[in-house]
Amino acid sequence: MSRALLATSRSERVVCRFPVMGIPLASHDGKRYSAAMRIIARNKLVAFWARHPETEASLKHWHEVTLAAAWQSPLEVVTDFSKAKSLNGERVRFEVAGGDYRMVVAFDWKRSIAFIKFIGTHAEYDKIDALAVNIF
């Protein structure tokens, strides 16, 4: 989970937890940034880890990191998830539970939205077209 460190008047360290859901921020140069990534189909994550409990910790970690992220490209995603693979300019494949499962997510970088397109076993992933799949 992303954290921000703030200094207080007594030089204490205060940890603020993100995300601040979808609040747009403007920089000094006029560009707009989003404070958090929205995740579409979170209920599919919950349903999947209910059927496959060994994926729960991994999917919850992915969910927390993604909610707090302000990614603008697949390269930034791969920086946070070293086992992730960029499939094209919008889709990224994630390994789940040590690589036994796979998840494909399509990103809308400008609107900071992550669309979960597929979650399944490695064998199921091998049978799909990851660039076109849209199971949810």
pTM listed for this prediction: 0.74
For 20-30, write each residue's pLDDT tens digit: 444 444 444 45
Does residue 132 fall inside a structural domain?
A: no
Does residue 134 fall inside a structural domain?
A: no
Q: What's the average model confidence in pLDDT over 57-69?
A: 96
Give the confidence band of 68 by pLDDT, cuts at 50, 70, 90. Answer: very high
Share of the chain above pLDDT 70, in %: 74
How much is the pLDDT for 35? 57
C-alpha–C-alpha distance, residues 44 and 40, integer Å: 9
Confirm if 59 and 51 have CB atoms less than 8 A apart.
no
Mean pLDDT, the chain, as a whole number? 82
Does residue 131 fall inside a structural domain?
A: no
How much is the pLDDT for 36? 86
Of the candidates 112, 124, 126, the residue with the CA atom closest to the CA atom of residue 48: 124
Does residue 74 fall inside a structural domain?
A: yes
How much is the pLDDT for 135? 83
Higher pLDDT, 110 or 28: 110
Q: How many domains does the chain have?
A: 1
Does residue 135 fall inside a structural domain?
A: no
42-46's contacts with Cβ under 8 Å and 24+ in sequence apart are 42/116, 44/116, 44/119, 44/136, 45/116, 45/119
How much is the pLDDT for 94? 98
Confirm if 109 and 115 have CB atoms less than 8 A apart.
no
Could you list the residue range(s) of the whole structural domain that residue 51 is in? 3-126
